[in-house]
Copies of this chain bind each other. A is one copy, B any other.
Amino acid sequence: MRLTSLLNDATCHILLVVLDGLGGFADAEFDTELEQADTPNLDQLAAEGVVGLTQPAGAGITAGSGPGHLALFGYDPTEYELGRGVLSATGVEFDLQPGDIAARGNLCTLDDDGNVADRRAGRIADDRAQALTDALNEGVKVDGAEVMFRHISSHRVLAVLRGEGLDHRIADLDPQKTGVPPKDPQPLDPEAEHTASVLRDVDAAIRDVLADQDGADALLLRGFDTHHDLPSFADRYKLRAATVAIYPMYRGVAKLCGMDTLPRPDGLSGQVAAISDHWDDYDFFFLHHKKPDEAGHDGKRDEKVAAIEALDAVIPDLVALQPDVIAVTGDHSSPTQLSAHSWHPVPTLLWGPHVGRDDATSFGERACTVGLLGQRPTQELMPIMLASAGKLEKYGA
C-alpha cells in the first residue's frame, strides 16, 4: 500500500511550524528551554490538541538540519541523503548541474601556526564576505575543475566544482574546532581520489587569494555532495506547498521537495504575513524559525528561551487563519547545555478540529510524554497531518 494511492484531490490548509533545534533536556539545574519559556499560546494549542515526541533519524541519532527537515516533510532521511553543499546551492538558487560537486564553506581565521582561530571569522560582515567571495571567483583557478563561489550570509559561502570525473565522496575539511589546522582533503572512496587531489589545489589557491585580503584566511569546506532529484510534494502528497523560510538552507530543502519559495520575509511577523497573503494559493505552508537553534549552538539559554517565546507570540495570528491542522515541532534538539545538535526526542504538537485532544495542558518535553502522539519517527507526522486535513481516503474495504 502506497500513501499516494490514498490521496484525494481536496484542497486544505496545513501549517508546519518548525522551531529549529527546539528540543532540549532537563538536568539537576535546569528545565528544558521550552519548559522554561513562557508560552501561553503554545500551551493552549497543546491543551486543545495532541502532543508527543518525535525522532528524526532513529533512537540515539543526532540529526543534521537536512535529515531533520526531510523527516518533517515525510521523506525517509536515511533513504534521501542530502549534503549541506547541495542544500546551500539550492538555497542561493545556484543551478547545480548533474556531476557538479557542492560544498558549504565557512570563512575562517587562522593563527600564526596555521591552526583555526575562529571558525566563523568573527561572524564576518556581509559586505566584507561578499568582497572576499568576489576575489575567490576571480582568483581561484586550478587544473581539473572550474571552481565557483557564492556568498550565502556572514561567514557562509557556497563552493561548486564542475569538471569531468569528480566524485562527492570527500571527508569534510572543516575540523569543527579551533586550535587545529583545517583537514587535508581525503577521499571516502577510492574513486574520489582525483577529486581530493583537485581539492588540495583549490584549498591552496583559496589561501593564496585570501592572503591578499582582510577578514579571513581560509575556507573550511564541508558537506560535499552532488545533484539529487527528490519526489515533489505535488507528486507525493497532491499538495500545493510553499515555504516562508528565511535562511537559504531551509528554503533550499523546501525547494528540493518542490515547494514554492515565497519572497524572503523579514522576521516572524513577515513570515506570518506572507502566509496570510497567500492563504488561498497553497495547501501547505512551511514556516521555519531559526533562532532557537542558533541560541542552542551558542549555549545561550536566555536567547533560546526568548526565541521560543517570540514564536509563541505569533501563534494567535496563525490560529486566526483557521487551518485544518497546525503542527509545531523541531527538526532536531539543540540543548544549550551541549551547544550542539543532540539526539534527544523533539516535543511535537498537532492542533486542529479533527486532531483530537489528550491530557497535556502545556507544551514541553515532559508534558509530551502523556500525549496521544506517543513517541514516533518524525517521518510519521506528515501522514497524520494529511489525514487530519482530510487528504487521505480509507485503506481497504
> A106 in the interface, Cβ–Cβ < 8 Å?
no
Q: A366-B372, A397-B66, A397-B84 are in contact. Are A354 and B338 (CB under 8 A)?
A: yes
Question: Does A387 contact B343, Cβ atoms closer than 8 Å?
Answer: yes
Provide the residues of chain B in CB contact with A1, threshold 8 Å.
57, 61, 77-78, 81
Q: How far is the CA of A59 from the CA of B52 in the complex (A)?
A: 13
Chain B nearest CB, measured from A141 CB (Å):
28
* Interchain CB contact under 8 A, B354 and A358: no
List residues of chain B with CB within 8 A of the CB of A337: 354
Q: Which of B84, B387, B397 contacts A223 (CB 8 A)?
A: B397
Q: What number of copies of this chain does the assembly contain?
A: 2
Contact of A396 among B63, B393, B394 (CB under 8 A): B63
Residues of B near A340 (CB, < 8 A) are 394
Interface membership of A167, Cβ < 8 A: no
* A330 on the B face (CB < 8 A): no
Interface string of A49-85 (1 = CB under 8 A from B): 0000100011111111111100000000110011110
B contact residues around A342 at 8 Å (CB): 354, 387
Mark contacts of A150-174 with chain B using CB atoms, 8 A cut-off: 1 yes-contact digit, 0 otherwise.
0000000000000000000000000
Q: Does A227 sit at the interface, judged by CB under 8 A? A: no
Q: List residues of chain B with CB within 8 A of the CB of A83.
A: 397
Whether a CB of chain B sits under 8 angstroms from the CB of A375 is yes
Segment from A20-28, A205-213, A281-289 that makes contact with B: A20-28
CB neighbours of A343 from chain B (8 A): 383-384, 387, 392
Given contacts A354-B338, A356-B344, A383-B58, contact A77 B396 (CB under 8 A): yes
Q: Are B81 and A27 in contact (CB under 8 A)?
A: no
Given contacts A63-B395, A64-B397, contact A359 B355 (CB under 8 A): no
Alpha-carbon distance A368/B382, docked complex (angstroms): 23
Q: A59-B376, A372-B345 are in contact. Are A355 and B25 (CB under 8 A)?
A: yes
Chain A to chain B: the 4 pairs with minimum beta-carbon distance, closest first: A60-B383, A84-B397, A25-B356, A374-B375
